[in-house]
């Protein structure tokens, strides 16, 4: 009986160690800022004006929010920049014109959810990517993270 418990415990330790190794390897391969070479070769596309960026972002939000007419938006400036995707999504680098925003809108129950961060990425005048804060977990035990929404 003791050897079976020891075998299960050993297997659990090996499985845990292997999982940690893989997660560390994935995170290490796709994190941090771009290298000097990546920055030198980056294609940001053509600039977009603040008003055009806000208009495109608002159009996208109209299709995504439960009550888009209730949206309260605090827009940051459009700046040339980059964003790295999550390691679980391959950690890709996205270059373009970035606009950060804080958005508050009503949920299905008619209550405001509170301001949540969003990042809008434009390239050649088009809204190419959007990241927004999501919650992992439920109830009082949640962890916020930035999910790729578009």
Burial class of residue 93, CB neighbours in 10 A (0-12, 13-18, 19+): middle
Per residue in 22-42, pLDDT tens? Answer: 343 344 445 789 999 999 999
Alpha helices in 30-148 (DSSP H): 36-40, 50-64
Total-model pTM: 0.74
What are the extents of the domains in the chain?
1-30, 33-148
Burial class of residue 10, CB neighbours in 10 A (0-12, 13-18, 19+): exposed
DSSP 86-105: -GGGT--EEEEEEEEEEEEE
Per residue in 79-118, pLDDT tens? Answer: 999 998 888 778 889 999 999 999 999 888 988 989 999 9
């Amino acid at each position: 009986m003791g050897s079976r418990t020891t075998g299960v415990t050993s297997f659990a330790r090996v499985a845990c160690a292997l999982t940690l190794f893989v997660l560390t390897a994935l995170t290490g391969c796709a994190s941090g800022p771009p290298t000097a070479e990546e920055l030198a070769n980056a294609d940001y596309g053509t600039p977009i004006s603040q008003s055009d960026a806000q208009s495109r972002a608002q159009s996208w939000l109209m299709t995504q929010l439960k009550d888009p007419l209730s949206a309260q938006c605090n827009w940051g400036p459009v700046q040339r920049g980059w964003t790295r995707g999550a390691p679980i999504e391959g950690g890709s680098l996205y270059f373009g014109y970035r606009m950060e925003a804080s958005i508050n809108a009503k949920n299905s129950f008619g209550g405001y959810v509170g301001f949540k961060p969003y990042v809008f990425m434009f390239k050649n005048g088009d809204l190419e990517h959007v990241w927004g804060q999501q919650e992992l977990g439920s109830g009082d035990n949640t962890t916020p993270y930035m999910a790729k929404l578009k």
